[in-house]
Structure 1
Amino acid sequence: MLFRQIEYFQAIIETGNFYQAAEKCNVSQSAISQQIKKLEQELGVKLLDRHNRTFSLTPAGE
């Protein structure tokens, strides 16, 4: 699943938000969010700082 999670992460960065990334990847927004959280847990680093409806990349995410 790691490849798919990285694909989702890339889509989030390219589109600038979770909703559009979900549409691009043909999955639900909640699925994208869950997979990014799982990716962060597997890597042991936080990739995104979430702010209400926006996000910013952490140094690890960059």
Structure 2
Amino acid sequence: MRPFKTGEQVIETGDYLSEMGEQKFYREGETFGVDPATGEETTWIREVEACGPVLRIDLM
């Protein structure tokens, strides 16, 4: 999957990693934010496990 820059729209719900390694959960349609570690614009990549995408279940 290609990297995404701050300000781009999220096209797939899931966990993403910033350039500094910070993890953040985004939902489809949201906008990628700045890096939580630096407050600066960053590039985000989708975090995946060897067996496939990381699943997150919201119980509420």
| TM-score of the alignment, normalized to the shorter chain, above 0.5 | no
More strand by share: 2
TM-score by length of 2: 0.28
Bigger RCO of structures 1 and 2 (CA < 8 A, at least 6 apart): 2
Q: Which protein has the larger Cα radius of gyration, Structure 1 or Structure 2?
A: 2
